[in-house]
Structure 1
Amino acid sequence: MNVGNNTTIPSSGPFLASPKWVLLFKGLMVTRVMPSISIFIILLSLPLNGLAVVTFTCRIRERKPAEIYMSHLACVDLLFTLLLPLKIHYRLNGSNWVFGEAACRLLSAAYYGNMYCSILLMMCMSVDRLLGVAFPVASLTWRSTRKATCVCLLIGLLALIGIVPLLSMKQTIRFENVGVTCFDVRADPSVMIYFFVFLTILFISFFLPLVVILVSYSIILYVLCAKPDHSLTSSSSSDNRRRAVIMATAVLTEFVVCFAPSNGILLYHCVTYLVTGACRTDTFSAYKLAVCLGSSSVFLNPLLYYYSSSRYREQIHSVFWVCKAKTANIP
């Protein structure tokens, strides 16, 4: 069976991929460029998220709600980073998956679970910051460590529910002239409900958080600009406004670069299948590159921690000062 545009792949095999698809699976973009991006992500993510996890769990004893969200996000990013070597091996091996169906489902589910957890936690961080700026006194009872922990557990549960379709769907397809693909070609989506589930997940885990984040940072900027805190000096107020602008820009940039492309293409696939009954394959390269770039959020998030948490910056500075002092004392 040849694989071409608008082709639906049954769940059995092996099949014969067309020369165009062999080039896509074995091409330079997939087998060299994408693994290189993933290696770069690992080299940055492991130390940054490892340092974040140690700082939030060991060095900051009494954590604020925002730091609770950050610590959970760092753990999620670190766990996902540890799975990336499987994807690197797969791409360097010419898109031939050797780790079995279960590991393939776990890897694909981990990607979306990480992305949805990241988005929902970033939404919680923006709402927490909004409450702290707009309602600093009234929100004290809402912004407790216990409630933040419960929210993190709820987000984990939602992410787990969201990846159930990926864990239950066949992810590997065997081709005679390619090998075993993982998460690249879908088996025959005979159960239509999966696509409605994906659309629901997209709304809850991407579009709704994006709206909440936009509204939250808009209100934060309005409050800081129109109603500055008179107990602060003008320089402090100006610094708070500048920090809020940078944070809003950074979060929205991460959404545009890391999350929007893959979710946009996924939405296109779901809508196309529901309308035409056929799975589009003409966006394969774009989708694979979008998924690869989406993984870069795991090393961008620690930069948000550094800029948004003053206590995190203080702890990082103290660690580097201690290391610098020890190095200077070595004869």
Structure 2
Amino acid sequence: MPFIYIIIILISLPLNALALVAFTCWIREKKPAVIYMSHLACVDLLFTLLLPLKIHYQMNASDWVFGEAACRVLSAAYYCYMYCSILLMMSMSVDRLLAVVFPIASLTWRSTRKATFICTLVWLLALAGTMPLLLMSQTVEIKNLGVTVTCHDVLRQNDPTVLYYVHLFSILSCLYFFLPLVVTLVSYSTIIYALSVKSDRLTSSSDKRRRPVIMAAAVLFVFVVCFAPTNGILLYHCVHLATGGHREGDSSYAAYLLAVCLESASVFLDPLLYYYGSSQYRKQVRSVFWCKKAKKGAKMQSNTKDSQCTTASQ
């Protein structure tokens, strides 16, 4: 897992930093999609910066040495990242639905101020949902294994907090995952249907129809592959403990660790959403790479001319 996290950092850090700079500095026209994606890039970047703590924890034999307060912050930040990403992707899907299905009527609804308000509301909802993790003890001493403190990785059987976790993650999974998943699926299904109907009536480029399909597939992939296993397995594990069905070596813990890795991988899949979800971002990225290629080509031509001049003088 530390090796996987290192790869995620190496890929995610430059991609999301580039996206954040593009959305905040290079793109002057702040459309609602740009606002949503800039916040999503910020969430991914902040989460990536927290991964070195998880790497140190796992390379140190799952021994948390940073104290109880840091453990609570890391645990809350981890779930805050997940639910904030889910809510932002849902908001992007609804915004895209309004733009495609109601292009004229939604002009007054889809404003920069309202998009900023929605993003602020998403942050507040994610913080409120994960706030209980800041108020609960997240460390467990396991002296017989030689591990002094374990951060949000072990729950004691028959512990009263297990029932609290069951109720908490049941509510979070329903309100912050399954409901946004349904809204996102309905939104992109409606978008694809509306574009197919319009393409039958009007002659439109295949690129305009292909991009929403790729966008919908990418969002669905992130939801199902990255976020669904964590929510499902964690809820199952808590219920399993609460009902007294836990046994030593239960395979659900190994599955949960794999799900955590898959969830973290979403931070470098989100740039795919930026590329297919914002034409402004595509133009900026293409201009950056074309500029580099043009400078490289001009430098090569200059070197060729200099060598030709030197040969002629000789």
**Matched residue of 2:269: which SS?**
helix
Query: Any gaps of 5 or more consecutive residues in structure 2?
Result: 304-314
The answer to whether the Cα contact below 8 Å between 2:36 and 2:91 also exists between their aligned partners in 1 is yes
Tell me which residue corresponds to 2:203.
Answer: 233
Q: Give the Cα separation in 1 of the matches to 2:165 and 2:137.
A: 12
Tell me which residue corresponds to 2:261.
Answer: 292
Letter in 1 for 2:203: T
Task: Please report how far the alpha carbon of residue 325 of structure 1 lies from its aligned counterpart in structure 2 after TM superposition.
Answer: 3.0
Pick one of 255, 258, 279 that aligns with 2:226: 258
The residue correspondences of 1:69-88 to structure 2 (distance < 5 A) are 69-88=36-55
Task: Please report how far the alpha carbon of residue 157 of structure 1 lies from its aligned counterpart in structure 2 after TM superposition.
Answer: 0.3
Q: Give the Cα separation in 1 of the matches to 2:160 and 2:112.
A: 43
Q: Residue by residue, what CA displacement relative to the aligned partner does 1:109-166 show, whole Å, maximum 9, x if unpaired?
A: 1111111011110001111111111000001111100000000000000000111121
Relative to structure 1, is the Cα distance of residues 79 and 45 closer, same or farther in structure 2, using a 3 angstrom cutoff?
same
Letter in 1 for 2:79: Y
The answer to whether the Cα contact below 8 Å between 2:165 and 2:238 also exists between their aligned partners in 1 is no
Instruction: Using structure 1 for the length normalisation, give the TM-score.
Output: 0.84
Pick one of 179, 183, 187 that aligns with 1:216: 187
> Does structure 1 residue 204 correspond to structure 2 residue 165?
no
Q: Give the Cα separation in 1 of the matches to 2:170 and 2:88.
A: 20
**Matched residue of 2:150: which SS?**
strand
Tell me which residue corresponds to 2:66.
Answer: 99
Q: Give the Cα separation in 2 of the matches to 1:211 and 1:131.
A: 17
Relative to structure 1, is the Cα distance of residues 137 and 199 closer, same or farther in structure 2, using a 3 angstrom cutoff?
same
Task: Please report how far the alpha carbon of residue 267 of structure 1 lies from its aligned counterpart in structure 2 after TM superposition.
Answer: 2.2
Considering Cα pairs closer than 8 Å and 6+ residues apart, tell me whether 1 or 2 has the greater RCO.
1
Pick one of 262, 275, 280 that aligns with 1:306: 275
Tell me which residue corresponds to 2:29.
Answer: 62
Q: Give the Cα separation in 2 of the matches to 1:195 and 1:165.
A: 13
Pick one of 96, 103, 108 that aligns with 2:75: 108
Pick one of 124, 128, 137 that aligns with 1:161: 128
Q: Residue by residue, what CA displacement relative to the aligned partner does 1:219-248 show, whole Å, maximum 9, x if unpaired?
A: 111111123386x633x2x32222221111
Instruction: Using structure 2 for the length normalisation, give the TM-score.
Output: 0.88
Tell me which residue corresponds to 1:123.
Answer: 90
**Which protein shows a greater Rg?**
2
**Matched residue of 2:62: which SS?**
coil
Letter in 2 for 1:233: T
Q: Give the Cα separation in 2 of the matches to 1:178 and 1:159.
A: 35
Q: In angstroms, what is the RMSD of aligned CA positions?
A: 1.9
The answer to whether the Cα contact below 8 Å between 1:171 and 1:186 also exists between their aligned partners in 2 is no
Relative to structure 1, is the Cα distance of residues 90 and 144 closer, same or farther in structure 2, using a 3 angstrom cutoff?
same
Q: Give the Cα separation in 2 of the matches to 1:106 and 1:166.
A: 8
The answer to whether the Cα contact below 8 Å between 1:221 and 1:244 also exists between their aligned partners in 2 is yes
Q: Residue by residue, what CA displacement relative to the aligned partner does 1:184-221 show, whole Å, maximum 9, x if unpaired?
A: 10353447444323211111110000000111111111
**Matched residue of 1:295: which SS?**
helix
Relative to structure 1, is the Cα distance of residues 304 and 43 closer, same or farther in structure 2, using a 3 angstrom cutoff?
same
Q: How many residues align structurally?
A: 294
Q: Give the Cα separation in 2 of the matches to 1:61 and 1:123.
A: 24
Percent identity over the alignment is 68
Tell me which residue corresponds to 1:242.
Answer: 210
Query: Any gaps of 5 or more consecutive residues in structure 1?
Result: 1-33
Q: Give the Cα separation in 2 of the matches to 1:139 and 1:45.
A: 34
Task: Please report how far the alpha carbon of residue 284 of structure 1 lies from its aligned counterpart in structure 2 after TM superposition.
Answer: 0.9
The answer to whether the Cα contact below 8 Å between 2:155 and 2:162 also exists between their aligned partners in 1 is no
Relative to structure 1, is the Cα distance of residues 226 and 328 closer, same or farther in structure 2, using a 3 angstrom cutoff?
closer
